[in-house]
Amino acid sequence: MSLQKIIATSALLLFIAPAAALTDKDKSDCEQQTNPSLKVATCTRILAGGNLPKDLQVFGHYHRGLGLLLQDKLDDAIVEFNKALEADSSHARSYNSRGNAWRHKGELDLAIADFNEAIRLDPNFSFPYNGRAAAFHDKGDLDRAIADFTEVIRLDPTLAAPYNNRAIVWRDKGEFDRALEDTNEALRRDPKNVVVYSTRGEIWRMKGDLDRALADQDAAIRLDSQSPLPFLTRGDTHRYRGEFSLAIADYDQALRVSPNYIPAYVGRGLTFEKQGDLARAKAEYIKALNARTEFRGDVAASSLATARARLAAFESGAPQPVIPAAPTRVTSPDSIPTPPVTVPAPVAAATAQGRRIALVIGNAAYRNARVLTNPEHDAEVVAASLRAVGFDAVTLIEDGTRDKMISALRAFASDAERADWAVVYYSGHGMEVFGTNYLIPVDAKLALDRDVQPETVALDQVMTSVEGAKKLKLILIDACRTNPFLAQMRRTSSLEVGVATGPAARGAPAAVGSDHGGLGAIKVSGATLVVYAAKHGQTALDGQGNNSPFAVALVQRIATPNVEINKLFRLVRDDVYEATAGRQEPYTYGSLPGREDFFFVQK
């Protein structure tokens, strides 16, 4: 279970009602939170009475909105919160809950505006600080998220949830030890909190210690055997470890506790798939898609995306990659074993896709920084794979100096104006400076922070190079390794320099000399996709074989016929996630127009 899924779950519990309300058995059906359908129906009956006093109007619309929010009927929920605010424009809780609805719709600026108003109306109301923290987290402003969770702790230091939520953000920043400190604080306040044990188990997993992850998941199950979440996460851990029968038993129990629990169906499917039983895996993915449940939040949505992609891969008829079990305890914090990969057999050119070109760059032999093992091999195998699937022209640049990279990008930009697809793949060192991402040529010295712009290549320049393509622009960045220049780079200005360990990074940049993660967030428009090898807070791991985990997954999937490109990169994401036990999760920015599908191979 990903970090963002857990923070969404725990944040939802916190912003809807305080702990006392959740345990009050005398609450009315309109106020209760466990049965959204009953809640909405009861509140509707109350509102149907007519001629209601203002306080009862606010009560009815507010709680009906909460019930709709629990059902993920976000637009309807917003309507109800609007009505509550029409009756009482000073109702801070309606602003707070409407902010949560906006956040789940992805309208983060509107969400933050509502949380700000709720805080203005009631500065001691902790829930909007929590909601605003979650919105900042979604925007990638992790430092502000931490500040708001810290304010929740200040307002009520007895609560476990804000410590748990802040731990999740620390984990997103790659600050695992600080994350563990916060989960330990949360458990001191609430020693029987199942969510916190689940969070801490995930942190241990991110540190590569599956034994301790399993111990925390066991503790969560002992405390609450009626919740599906601990069984799900423990099942995932058993699957990563290659303990398939134990994984299936946990998913089965999760479904006994919560029938139609979508993530458990998908977990069973992934387990059967790793066992080579594709027929049973397919049946589980279909069950997930057909599940009848009104709870389809972040966890279920991600699982459904996986189910759709896996089914598309099965229908292609292509052999499925074999993903070995992850190490129980990692021997290196920044690398994992990777298998050898084979360039796919050549296929007929996809004429329906038009003229397709690619620029592939692999920087390994750095002159003034740590030499990398994978990029040279990654670039060669990716270039060969693109040629195999019918690309018309593939330019391979190895160990590019800045002049060589700039020259190649200019030539590629000119060629892209006559192409339908333009693809750039980069493997090597990268960094973020004050919100701008840079790829690092092999001749960079970076003795001073002000040398970054003249000695590196801005990702914006890479994006410009594909802009002329008529149909699809695709950029693949496997540059999320620790920035080797941080220790030596002297600060001369107010610029802040981060390391390249993240997706599209969502975190605020770190000061020179820190060990902050994250290529900076980017804005993507048009028919453009930018795929990062790892999301924020995660190190894109080196491969202990010739290739990185991301390159391995890309090459194994690129020739899968008749799988639309969004689904194909979902497969790449899931394969990397599986191979690394969730320590690395590729992240995709951008979207493609619905009027046309794109395929690497179409038959």
Round to whole Å and give the CA distance between 541 and 500. 11
Q: Is 109 exposed, middle or buried (0-12, 13-18, 19+ CB in 10 A)?
A: exposed
Round to whole Å and give the CA distance between 238 and 232. 10
- Would you state the pLDDT for residue 11? 38
- Would you state the pLDDT for residue 321? 94
Shortest CA distance to 250 belongs to which of 232, 262, 267? 232
Under CATH, what is the fold of the domain 355-591? Answer: Rossmann fold (3.40.50)
What does residue 527 show for φ and ψ, rounded to 5 degrees?
-80, 70
Round to whole Å and give the CA distance between 179 and 6. 14
Round to whole Å and give the CA distance between 441 and 216. 43
The structural domains of the chain, with segments of one domain joined by +, span 3-216, 225-316, 355-591
Under CATH, what is the fold of the domain 3-216? Answer: 1.25.40
Average pLDDT on 535-549 reads 87
Round to whole Å and give the CA distance between 195 and 22. 15
More confident residue, 519 or 120: 120
Give 297's pLDDT tier (boundaries 50, 70, 90): low
Which residues neighbour 514 within 8 Å (Cβ) at sequence distance 6 or greater? 486, 498
Which residues neighbour 276 within 8 Å (Cβ) at sequence distance 6 or greater? none
Is 347 a residue whose pLDDT tops 80? yes
DSSP state letter for 428: S
Instruction: Return the minimum-mean-pLDDT range out of 164-178, 259-273, 453-467, 477-491.
Output: 477-491
Give 537's pLDDT tier (boundaries 50, 70, 90): low
Round to whole Å and give the CA distance between 6 and 229. 10
Is 457 a residue whose pLDDT tops 80? yes
**HSE-up of 226 (CA within 13 Å, CB side)?**
0
Round to whole Å and give the CA distance between 182 and 193. 13
Round to whole Å and give the CA distance between 573 and 308. 13
What are the C-alpha distances in Å from 382 to residues 107, 359, 378, 472, 545? Answer: 36, 10, 6, 18, 15
Tokens of residue 176, six digits: 């695992």
Tokens of residue 392, six digits: 């018309």
Asked whether 201 and 233 are in contact (CB, 8 A), the reply is: yes
Q: Is 262 exposed, middle or buried (0-12, 13-18, 19+ CB in 10 A)?
A: buried
Tell the residue number behind the tokens 């949560």, with chain if given. 100
Instruction: Return the minimum-mean-pLDDT range out of 127-131, 225-229, 298-302, 457-461.
Output: 298-302
Paired residues of 209 in beta bridges: 329
Q: Is 89 exposed, middle or buried (0-12, 13-18, 19+ CB in 10 A)?
A: exposed
Describe the crossing of helices 565-579 and 549-557 by its angle, rounded to 10 degrees: 140
Q: Is 339 exposed, middle or buried (0-12, 13-18, 19+ CB in 10 A)?
A: middle
Strand 542-543 vs strand 335-336: parallel, antiparallel, or unpaired? parallel
Q: Is 53 left (phi over 0), alpha (psi -120 to 50) or beta?
A: beta
Is 510 a residue whose pLDDT tops 70? no
Round to whole Å and give the CA distance between 143 and 169. 9
List, for residues 88-119, the tens digit of each pLDDT value.
999 999 999 999 999 999 999 999 999 999 99
DSSP state letter for 449: G
Describe the crossing of helices 74-87 and 92-105 by its angle, rounded to 10 degrees: 160
Give 374's pLDDT tier (boundaries 50, 70, 90): very high
Tokens of residue 525, six digits: 């428009």
pTM, rounded to two decimals: 0.81
Q: How far is CA 462 from the centre of its chain?
A: 23
Shortest CA distance to 159 belongs to which of 150, 169, 168? 150
- Would you state the pLDDT for residue 521? 59
List, for residues 171-218, the tens digit of each pLDDT value.
988 899 999 999 999 999 999 999 999 999 999 999 999 999 999 999
* Domain over 225-316 is classified CATH 3.40.50.1970: no
Fold match flag (225-316 vs 355-591): no
Shortest CA distance to 500 belongs to which of 326, 334, 365? 334
Average pLDDT on 1-20 reads 37
Give the highest mean pLDDT range of 9-18, 278-287, 424-433. Answer: 278-287
Q: Is 131 exposed, middle or buried (0-12, 13-18, 19+ CB in 10 A)?
A: buried
Shortest CA distance to 565 belongs to which of 464, 476, 504? 476
Which residues neighbour 454 within 8 Å (Cβ) at sequence distance 6 or greater? none
Give 296's pLDDT tier (boundaries 50, 70, 90): low
